[in-house]
Structure 1
Amino acid sequence: MTSTYSGGCQCGAVRFRVSGPLKDASICHCRMCQKAFGGYYAPLVSVRGTDFEWTRGTRKIFRSSNVVSRGFCGDCGTPLTYEAPDGVAVAAGAFDDPAAFPPTTQFGIECRIAFVDHLHELPGHPTEEDLEQAPYLADIVSYQHPDHDTADWPDQGLEP
């Protein structure tokens, strides 16, 4: 039996499907990945050797170097792919169930930011704890695409 996974961008304009084994999940700490994801590192899942297809919309491409291109949603900006001569990797957080892909290795560790190794030591707070300081949180209506495929999805949240 072949496993099938789906995912897409935050606004739902771009969606994808992967059929086949996904076993190469990683984190990249290189400076290009930090900038591309706007984070301390980039969590990626290789789709090499699988049946990968775009099921809705078209990603935009930014060529971040002479050998790597990065796909993203042109509407909401969600990072989607890392595309190199040896294959494509998809942003782990773009999958509908990102918890299914725990990383097994790290790349670009020469650029790893030291405090990343200690993030788990920070105090954690559920969103509800912020209601007194930020009461608007109680009235949030999410315009984010749900974590499953839909026949269509309105352009919610996009500024004209």
Structure 2
Amino acid sequence: MTGGCQCSRIRYEVDAENDEAYLCHCRMCQRATGGVSIAFKNVPKASVRWTTQEPDYYASSPIARRGFCSACGTPLTFEYPDSDNMDLTVGSLDDPSGLKPKHNFGAEGLHEHWLNAADLPRYKAADYEPLKKRWEEKVGKVPD
């Protein structure tokens, strides 16, 4: 699998052994990402190859650090420095469609009403005329 940040300054390859991922709902992850949860893929650190450069890091607590791109702000990793494994953000993968959430972690911060949005109306970004017009004026098309 391959992935990276939004601006492509940081790119990686990873050998993923399975399709398992998980959602973390803890308050630290919520604050670090600005979301109600974050999707992670846990992998051995040795299976990750940074193909352009390593991410920038900050100590998000006394026991963990998070990797991110300081140019575009994309959250990329979570890790305990003393662990052989790390988490990659599912959203930073080029094609996250093969992964499936297997459990919820940090359930004390879980917001139930955000878990299942399957019955809500769905709108495609490319069909929203004000957004479509902005993209077409700037780059000629709506990005994939």
Range into which the TM-score falls when normalised by the shorter chain? 0.7 to 0.9
Partner of 2:97: 99
Partner of 1:11: 7
| Structure 1 range deviating more: 50-59 or 63-72 | 50-59
Contact 1:31 1:111 in 2 (8 A): yes
Matches of residues 100-119 of structure 1 in structure 2 within 5 Å? 100-119=98-117
| Structure 1 range deviating more: 6-15 or 130-139 | 130-139
Q: Distance in 2 between matches of 1:96 and 1:133?
A: 23
Change (3 A) 1:101 1:134: closer
CA apart distance, 1:136: 2.1
**TM-score in terms of structure 2 length:** 0.85
Runs of 5+ unmatched residues, structure 2 = none
CA apart distance, 1:52: 1.3
Partner of 1:154: none
CA offsets 1:22-81 (integer angstroms, 9 cap, x no match): 444111000111111221101000112752111112311111111110000011010000
**1:135 paired to 2:112:** no
Contact 2:126 2:132 in 1 (8 A): no
Amino-acid identity (%): 34
Which has a greater percent of strand?
Answer: 2
**Equivalent of 1:65 in 32, 57, 61:** 61
Which has a greater percent of helix?
Answer: 2
**Equivalent of 1:76 in 72, 79, 85:** 72
**1:52 paired to 2:82:** no
**TM-score in terms of structure 1 length:** 0.77
Contact 2:36 2:114 in 1 (8 A): yes
Runs of 5+ unmatched residues, structure 1 = 148-160
Amino acid at match of 1:75: A
Q: How many residue pairs end up in the alignment?
A: 140
CA offsets 1:71-129 (integer angstroms, 9 cap, x no match): 00011010000011332110011111111211111101110112112422221112243
